Amino acid sequence: MKIYCRVTEHGLVPMYDSDYDEKKKLRMGDTVLCDIKRPRNYEFHKKFFALVRLAFDNLPEHLHHALAIYSEEDLLLSLKIDLSLCTSVRYGFREVIKPGSISFAAMDESEFGRFYSRCIDVILHRYLRGTDRQALLDEIERFK
């Protein structure tokens, strides 16, 4: 999220010495653009990959073949495609799908949280039909 701020007496409080050095260059009343991101929680990242492993391990056999999902990486790619976290690039007559990134640099905590929640929805409705949502969430907690 990007927001505009005005530097005041109570203004921006830097976290690190290098940030403080940059802030010292600002004058009272300056208008600045701040890029606000909530840093990702590593435990949440691990929880997501526990979800992917759990979904892959319980994927019905017919879906492995029908959707060409033979690894956790294949399932992750399929989820990214399902959630439109990809772009398609044309090379001549060929179209190639380039998956988007879910790296710490690409998504902050809020964005990743929305992605995680949407993945659960897709997994429950497309890959593990009939699975109870709460049962899946409980199993993820045990699995990670």
CA distance 48 to 53: 9
Are 71 and 132 in the same domain? yes
CA distance 116 to 111: 9
Residue-wise pLDDT for 29-51, tens only, equals 888 777 766 678 889 999 999 99
Report the b/e string of 49-75 with b at 16+ CB within 10 A: ebbbebbbeebeeebeeeeebeeeeeb
Are 53 and 26 in the same domain? no
Total-model pTM: 0.72
Are 15 and 55 in the same domain? no
The domain total for the chain is: 2
Are 77 and 25 in the same domain? no
**DSSP character for 32?**
E
* Amino acid letter, 87: T
Is 40 strand, coil or helix? Answer: coil
Are 121 and 95 in the same domain? yes
Are 51 and 25 in the same domain? no
Residue 64 vs residue 6, higher pLDDT: 64
Quick one: pLDDT at residue 22?
Answer: 76
Q: Which residues form the domain of 132? A: 42-143
Are 15 and 50 in the same domain? no
Residue-wise pLDDT for 78-134, tens only, equals 999 999 999 988 888 999 889 999 998 889 888 999 999 999 999 999 999 999 999
Residue-wise pLDDT for 53-88, tens only, equals 999 999 999 999 999 999 999 999 999 999 999 998
* Amino acid letter, 23: K
